[in-house]
Amino acid sequence: MSAEISFFHLFLEASILVQLVMLTLLIFSIVCWAMIFQRRKVLKNAVQQLKAFEDKFWSGADLSKLYSEISAKSNIQGIESLFVSGFKEFARLRKSNINNPQIIVDGTHRAMRVALSREVDSLETHLPFMATVGSISPYIGLFGTVWGIMNSFIALGAVKQATLAMVAPGIAEALIATAMGLFAAIPAVMAFNRFSHKVEKLENSYGNFMEEFSSILQRQTAAEPIA
């Protein structure tokens, strides 16, 4: 009997509903792992970009030249998007002959806030799906287990003498559904928590840069106009 009881054999012997449950969980797991690797790469690049930009920004580089350099890129993301949005709005307000520094800084801050919201939304892509998989997969697996065990006991009631060999395969195939539910849920929950923490740290870093950049622009506005 041990030679016959394999995952593939139990899957083939399971009821259609239990098979659908297993296939659903397998698809969830594959999709979730693909998203995990993709998000890991995106967040790693965002952290590297943040460090590289901050090193360049705080090295005393001319803001106008830095803006021109970044604006020439075809794909502006992360903290560079905040800088470009803020500096562009700052230059536009200065050219409109607004003499109130607070109005200029507030407008610049709002532009960066919009860019921040877009960047955070981009960083959080796929995280809701991971959270959903982590939440519902155990229950989907449990549903398959309950259904499989119920069918096993119904079939057992039709015979006069029940043996362990008769009930073991049915229970085993039912329990595999729960195992697959946990297999899909555990990595999804771990990835969601880890990535959420990274996104939160990036958002805090972006927010700190916004405040510091706003202070620099406010001092520059009070001192002299941008060329």
Please write the tens of the pLDDT for every residue from 133-185. Answer: 999 999 999 988 888 888 777 767 666 666 666 666 677 777 888 889 999 99
Residue by residue, DSSP assigns 24-36 as HHHHHHHHHHHHH
Question: For residue range 14-40, what is the model confidence (pLDDT) as tens digits?
Answer: 678 888 988 999 999 999 999 999 999
pLDDT digits 0-9 by tens, 44-93: 999 999 999 999 998 887 888 999 999 888 888 899 999 999 999 988 88
Query: pTM, whole model, 2 decimals?
Result: 0.82
Alpha carbon distance 127, 189 (integer Å): 10
If one counts every other C-beta atom within 10 angstroms of the C-beta of residue 105, the result is: 23
In terms of phi and psi (left: phi > 0; alpha: psi -120 to 50; beta: otherwise), the region of 76 is beta
Say what the pLDDT of residue 134 is. 94
CA–CA separation, 61 vs 17, rounded Å? 64
Q: pLDDT, tens digit, for every residue of 208-218? A: 999 999 888 88
Element (H, E) at 221: helix 164-223
